């Protein structure tokens, strides 16, 4: 199951849970749909940074649904 640390697993339109910068201490997750992928590197140990359709920015902690079925 992809966990949000590899850029190749993140697609625009995917439903994800992110942790925003101001929620890192509490670990509160925000649910939303990916609008833009902000991390350029292929992977990141804390999660790929994305912008949700709401404009909220954070690192992906979990992917809620996978658009592709292998």
- Rounded CA-CA distance 8/4 in Å is 9
pLDDT value of residue 2: 81
pLDDT tens per residue across span 2-55 = 889 999 999 999 999 999 999 999 999 999 999 999 999 999 999 999 999 999
57 with 20: CB under 8 angstroms?
Answer: yes
Model confidence at 66, pLDDT cuts 50, 70, 90, reads low
| The pLDDT of residue 70 is above 50 | no
pTM here is: 0.88
13 with 4: CB under 8 angstroms?
Answer: no
Domains and CATH numbers, the chain: 7-63 (2.30.30)
């Amino acid at each position: 199951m992809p966990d949000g640390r590899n850029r190749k697993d993140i697609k625009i339109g995917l439903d994800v849970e992110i942790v925003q910068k101001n929620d890192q201490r509490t670990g509160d997750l925000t649910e939303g749909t990916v609008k833009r992928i902000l991390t350029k590197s292929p992977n990141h140990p804390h999660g790929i940074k994305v912008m949700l359709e709401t404009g909220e920015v954070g690192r992906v902690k979990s992917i809620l649904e996978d658009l592709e079925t292998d």
